[in-house]
Amino acid sequence: MTEPQTGRVEIDDLVIRFKGKQGPVTALERTRHVLEPGTFTALIGPSGCGKSTLMNAIAGFVTPAEGQVRLDGQTITGPSSDVGVIFQQYALFPWFTALSNVRYGLKQFGLSKREEIDRARAALAEVGLEAHADKYPQQLSGGMKQRVAIARTFAVGPKVLLMDEPFGALDAQTRLIMHDLLLDIWRKHRATVLFVTHDVDEALLLADHVQVMSHAPGRLIRHYPLTQPRPRALSRSGNELLEIREEILGLLHPKSTHADPLI
């Protein structure tokens, strides 16, 4: 018997609007989509198209103007421990050690102090930071801070993990290390991941599904299912991923594929 899988996200005719000076502004056009349990979806689109807005709706941080988001059939009405969020800014408490930052996320469960510390240490070990548990964020590199954020989120056992350009502030080398780390942890925990990135290559290296959004007000315009085994490489010629990359770049920068007579 296989266990019933949880973490199914249904985005059901969702529309998000914000108040603007001249009335309501649509930040997300009507969007309908399902994230299947345990899948890894990368979301890519031009700046301001509504990627963060879509994430914030799934996280329960913004209220839909129309439609809804459901997690395993239940309408999302606010933040919950089932949905973890990781931002580009590390969002760690500077006055807490790495261990205390991870423990903070566990407070809601009413564990004993011993259980809380054990679970937080285990989470830090999973991201390779057991030796740095007592350091403060300012003593850690950018990559290490993001590892603490990942440990804090996975320690809670979320069904869904939303990552908003999580590695955007890291150098290229550190990013590659973080990709391996994230894929390892995701395989173990099997949360449903939605990963926003500006970087087409990052999307192609990581995801099972790449969703491309249109210019603002955004909606999902193209879906690429990726079945290539990981670890993936984009360097080989004749690689199908390279063709997909060209297509996505064409969607994101339509002008660059045509000579512009005004320039």
Ligand X SMILES: Nc1ncnc2c1ncn2[C@@H]1O[C@H](COP(=O)(O)OP(=O)(O)O)[C@@H](O)[C@H]1O
Task: Give contact residues for ligand X (rule: CB under 6 A).
Answer: 18, 27, 45, 47-53, 216
Minimum Å gap between C-beta 152 and ligand X is: 22
Q: Which of 4, 16, 5 is nearest to 191 (CA)?
A: 5
Contact partner, 7, from Mg ion, ligand X, none, Cβ < 5-8 Å per class: none
Residues 6+ apart with CB under 8 A from 23: none
Cα separation, 262 vs 170, whole angstroms: 37
- In the complex, the smallest distance separating the C-beta of residue 173 from ligand X, rounded to whole angstroms, is 26
* Cβ-based nearer residue to ligand X, 41 or 52: 52
Among 31, 52, 56, 211, binds Mg ion (CB under 5 A): 52
- Which residues fall within 8 angstroms of residue 245, CB to CB, at 6 or more apart? 200, 201, 204, 234
Give CA–CA dist 59/175, Å, rounded.
24
Question: Which residue, 48 or 128, has its beta carbon nearer to Mg ion?
Answer: 48
The two structure tokens encoding residue 114: 């011993």
- Beta carbon of residue 230, minimum distance to ligand X (angstroms, whole number): 26
Question: Which CB, 120 or 252, lies closer to ligand X?
Answer: 252
- The tokens describing 36, both together, are 């299947």
Nearer to Mg ion, 105 or 166 (CB): 166
In the complex, residue closest to Mg ion by CB: 52
Tokens (6 digits) for 28: 């997300």
Contacts for 63 with CB less than 8 Å, ≥ 6 apart: none
Least distance in angstroms from the C-beta of 69 to ligand X: 15
Shortest Cβ 52–Mg ion spacing (Å): 3
Closer Cβ to ligand X, 105 or 218, answer by number:
218
Give the number of other CB atoms < 10 A from CB of residue 249: 13
Which listed option, ligand X, Mg ion, none, makes contact with residue 18 (CB within 5 to 8 Å by class)? Answer: ligand X
Q: Which residues contact Mg ion by CB under 5 A?
A: 51-52
